[in-house]
């Protein structure tokens, strides 16, 4: 749900609508409404409650700086692309950042 939908879901819940009615009105799955309401039913409607939370998942393999560098290399020197990509995949972002600071 986006920010407006989260705010509307809380407001509709406080007006006495059930999760199915809220989901139908907002066009989102009932389980999404149920999860959000169960986490925040007693919270005040505020920017903190409605804000996007960080997503879980696999961390990036490269930093944004490495992506820009690789993009420049692809445009300027395509035959070396495979070697560059392979060396970047083997290097973790933390290792690269620390090694460039020395």
pLDDT digits (tens, 9 = 90+) for 11-59: 899 899 999 999 999 999 999 999 989 888 777 676 676 776 666 777 7
Does 84 or 36 have the greater pLDDT score? Answer: 36
Report whether 39 contacts 31 (CB < 8 A).
no
- The DSSP result for 20-66, as a single string, is HHHHHHHTS-HHHHHHHHHHHTTS-S-HHHHSPPPPPSPPPSS-HHH
Write down how long the chain is. Answer: 102
How far is the first Cα of the chain from the last one, in angstroms, to the nearest whole number? Answer: 44
Does 3 or 15 have the greater pLDDT score? Answer: 15
The answer to whether the predicted template modeling score (pTM) of the entire model surpasses 0.75 is no
Task: Give the C-alpha separation, 59 to 77, whole Å.
Answer: 28
Q: How confident is the model at residue 102 (pLDDT cuts 50, 70, 90)?
A: very low
Q: By mean pLDDT, which of 1-15, 61-75, 76-90 is the weakest?
A: 76-90
Cα-flanking dihedrals φ and ψ of residue 53, to 5°? -100, 155
């Amino acid at each position: 749900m986006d920010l407006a939908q989260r705010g509307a879901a809380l407001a509709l819940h406080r007006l006495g609508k059930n999760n199915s009615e809220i989901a139908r009105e907002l066009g989102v799955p009932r389980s999404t409404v149920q999860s959000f309401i169960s986490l925040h039913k007693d919270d005040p409607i505020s920017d903190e409650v409605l804000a996007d939370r960080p997503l879980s998942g696999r961390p990036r393999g490269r930093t944004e700086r490495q992506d820009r560098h690789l993009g420049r290399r692809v445009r300027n020197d395509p035959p070396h692309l495979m070697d560059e990509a392979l060396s970047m995949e083997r290097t973790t972002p933390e290792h690269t950042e620390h090694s460039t600071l020395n």
